[in-house]
Each structure stands twice: as structure tokens, then as C-alpha cells.
Amino acid sequence: MPRIRLLALVCATVLGGAAHLAAAAEPAAVETTLVASGTVHQALFAIAFAGAGGVAVGTAGDIRESSDGGKTWKEVKAPVPASLFGVAVDGNRAIAVGQKGAIFVRDDKGAWSAATSGSQERLLAVGMHAGTAVAVGSFGALLRSTDGGAHWESAAPKWQDYSADGADPNLYAVHVGADGTVVVAGEFGIVARSTDNGATWESKHKGAATLFGLDMAANGTGYAVGQDGAVIKTADGGATWNDLDTGIKTNLLGVAVAADGAIYATGMHEMFAGRDDGKPWQQLSGKGTQGLWNTGLAAVPGGNAAIAVGQTAQILRLGK
């Protein structure tokens, strides 16, 4: 299977209307609420929550913050207008990452400042817990901070030992857990896992399909989604993974599991909902769920909803 890059995939679809296949099941009647939207020149790429506090990021340094579980959002001025592709929130602190190695850190008082990453690679995702943060991106970029994002250094393994053709994989997703477990996912179906806060790594999965999205729960259950409807699951904190057949054949870009067990996934033109019960996931039919790409997706803590962000800076609530 040829190499596939997330941003190139998004651009090709927006400009050229790439073909896609819908899920086999009938559209699902999940309640959707359009919280906000912008212009055709805007986009939000990522969203994250810690309690009721949320942050969404996008083009030209677009940062949005919420303090009420995503019901309302305010725009915040970024240190510099760099496009941002990933964000993580832990308590009052947050980290956003983006183009040319850009890293912005929000302190406990809510102020954003730029940190030096030491990398010029595009950073596509970031995870954090307490003082540990891990950022990943293009061509195998994997950076680690042990002081809450103030200082960074490369912690990338020898990726040639992980990928099918010896190339440095693009990494699209990362999770940093409270127990020191870190999981990253990306090109060539790669899932790598660390049990020492990102100091050392082990390969846990390889496959033909690129993985774009990852969601991990505190109990060790997690899902990764990607190319051609790929969905894989772990029940042991990322140590082992199994394929799931959800009936989806289109590219999936994000995944999130709500508190009630509902699993939401975003794609290039569609959104899907399902459960881990062996039944096909259903394409959503509510307002804002079709026609636009959405790369960012996060469950809202303490509720049964998830929020997706994407093209036109759309912020869309899925579920109640």
C-alpha cells in the first residue's frame, strides 16, 4: 500500500473530491449540535479536554478555549501565527504543536508562550500527563519533555527497525498515560509503546494501513483508526492489538470513546458511531456530520458526548 500523509489526504479531498465509500449500515440518529463555524479559509485540526476545560487549535495560530465542557469557546492569541495540528490538556496546563516544530505551552495561569523544540519537522500530535509530554510528527519525529513542555529532546527509536520498508514513518497520534505508558501510532500501521514515560520503546503493531487517530482510556482499553476504515483495539494498555471489523471502508481520521461506551469516528466526508459489540458502525446523519472533513475528535469528560473539529473551523457536538 502506498505511503499516505494526513494533510495531503485532507487537501486532495477538499480540492479534488476524492472518492469514498460509506458504511454498510443505515445512518444513525445521533443528536448533533453545531457549536461554532467559520469561513472556508479556516480549519481546526485538533481538540483536547481535561475536565470541563478544552482547547482546540488550527490554522495560523488559531487557539480556542472552553471552560464549560465545550458549550462555548473563546479565541486566544497565539505567541506566533503558526498552524497548529495537535493539542493536549492536563489540568490548567496545555501544549499545542504544529508546523516547523512549533510548540506553544500554556501555564497554570492561562498564559501561552513558545517553547524551543529543536526540530523543524511538522509536529502533528502531542500528549501529556503531569510533567511528561511527548510530541510526534513527520518523518519519525518524536520529542519528549520531562518538565511540562519547557524543554524538549528527541526520544525517537531507530524507526528503520519498525517500518516495513525501513523508512521513517509519519506519526499522527500519541497518548501519555498516568502510569508511565506512552503509545504512538502512525504510518505503516505502526504502534509503538513505552512503559517508562517515553525513554525507551517497543514495536507493538505493524500493518498496511496508516493509523491517524488514537484514543486510550485509563482502564487500558484503546482504539486506533486509519486508512480504508482500519480499526484496531487494545485491552491491555497498548501491549497487544486486534483488528475490528466495523463495516467502514473510508479513511478514518479521529476516534473518541464517550463515557456511555459510544465510539465516535471522523472521516473525510462522514462521521460514524458504534459500540464494541461486533455490529457495524453507523454513519451519522445529523447536521454537520457530512460533506466536511474533521480531523480532531475528543470525548467530553463526565458526559456521553464527543466534540469534533475540522474544516471551516467547525466545532460539532456529537451526542448529549
> Quick one: pLDDT at residue 9?
55
> Quick one: pLDDT at residue 5?
61
Q: What is the mean pLDDT of residues 97-103?
A: 99
For the chain, how many structural domains are there in total? 1
Residue 161 has pLDDT above 90, yes or no: no
Residue 37 has pLDDT above 80, yes or no: yes
Residue 131 lies in a domain: yes
Is residue 22 within 8 A of residue 229, CB to CB? The reply is no
Q: What is the mean pLDDT of residues 149-177?
A: 92
pLDDT band, very low/low/confident/very high, at 11 (cuts 50, 70, 90): very low
Residue 24 has pLDDT above 70, yes or no: no
Residue 18 has pLDDT above 50, yes or no: no
Strand partners, 59: none
Rounded CA separation 273/110 (Å)? 34
pLDDT band, very low/low/confident/very high, at 160 (cuts 50, 70, 90): confident
* 314 to 9, 36, 63, 124, 288: CA distances (angstroms): 19, 6, 13, 19, 8
Residue 175 has pLDDT above 50, yes or no: yes
Rounded CA separation 129/194 (Å)? 14
* 128 to 40, 100, 176, 236, 306: CA distances (angstroms): 31, 20, 5, 20, 20
State the cell numbers at 128.
501529556
Question: Model confidence over 200-230: pLDDT tens digits?
Answer: 999 999 998 999 999 999 999 999 999 999 9
Q: What is the mean pLDDT of residues 301-315?
A: 94
More reliable by pLDDT, 77 or 165:
77
Residue 14 has pLDDT above 70, yes or no: no
Question: Model confidence over 121-156: pLDDT tens digits?
Answer: 999 999 999 999 999 999 999 999 999 999 999 999
> Quick one: pLDDT at residue 84?
99
DSSP string spanning the chain? -----HHHHHHHHHHH-------SSPPB---EEEEE---TT-BEEEEEEETTEEEEEEGGG-EEEESSTTSS-EEE--SS---EEEEEEETTEEEEEEGGG-EEEE-TTS-EEEE--S--SPEEEEEEETTEEEEEEGGG-EEEESSTTSS-EE----GGGTSTTSPPPPEEEEEE-TTS-EEEEEGGG-EEEESSTTSS-EEEE--SS-EEEEEE-TTS-EEEEEGGG-EEEESSTTSS-EE---S--S-EEEEEE-TTS-EEEEESS-EEEE-SSSSPPEEB-STTSSSS---EEEE-TTSS-EEEE-BTT-EEEE--
Q: What is the mean pLDDT of residues 13-28?
A: 41
> Residue 78 CA to chain centroid, in angstroms?
20
State the cell numbers at 82.
503558526
Residue 118 lies in a domain: yes
Q: What is the dihedral of CA 1, 85, 58, 22, to 10 degrees?
A: 30
Question: Model confidence over 234-257: pLDDT tens digits?
Answer: 999 999 999 999 999 999 999 999
pLDDT band, very low/low/confident/very high, at 61 (cuts 50, 70, 90): very high
Residue 21 has pLDDT above 50, yes or no: no
Number of other CB atoms surrounding residue 3 within 10 Å: 12
> Quick one: pLDDT at residue 2?
55
Residue 22 has pLDDT above 70, yes or no: no
Is residue 242 within 8 A of residue 223, CB to CB? The reply is no
**The domain spanning residue 247 has which CATH number?**
2.130.10.10
> Quick one: pLDDT at residue 6?
60
At 20, which amino acid appears? H
> Quick one: pLDDT at residue 26?
47
Q: What is the mean pLDDT of residues 259-276?
A: 94
Rounded CA separation 88/128 (Å)? 6
Residue 17 has pLDDT above 80, yes or no: no
State the cell numbers at 20.
469514498
What is the extent of the structural domain holding 123? 6-318
Mean pLDDT of the chain: 92
Residue 69 lies in a domain: yes
Q: What is the mean pLDDT of residues 73-101?
A: 98
Residue 1 lies in a domain: no
> Quick one: pLDDT at residue 30?
87
List the end-to-end C-alpha distance of the chain, in Å, as a whole number: 39
State the cell numbers at 3.
505511503
Is residue 195 within 8 A of residue 203, CB to CB? The reply is no
